[in-house]
Amino acid sequence: QEVSTCAAAARLNKYSKLNYQVSYEQLSEQVQSIHKSGGKILSITELN
């Protein structure tokens, strides 16, 4: 069980939360880039 616990902890460490602020014109390209790198988009919010 110790091994699986360590493996689970190691898996958790690879996740990070990043914020990207891009213009509407760059949005599609940035979304594609995130998906290609294996990322997951949690939300997209419009800024004024």
Nearest Cα to 34, choosing from 8, 26, 10? 26
**Pairwise pLDDT comparison (29 vs 39), residue with the higher score:** 29
* Residues 19-34 pLDDT 10s: 888 888 999 999 999 8
- Measure the CA–CA gap between 21 and 31, rounded to whole angstroms: 11
pLDDT confidence band for 15 (50 / 70 / 90): low
| Amino acid 29: pLDDT | 93
Q: How much is the pTM?
A: 0.62
pLDDT confidence band for 17 (50 / 70 / 90): confident
Q: What percent of the chain has pLDDT over 70?
A: 67
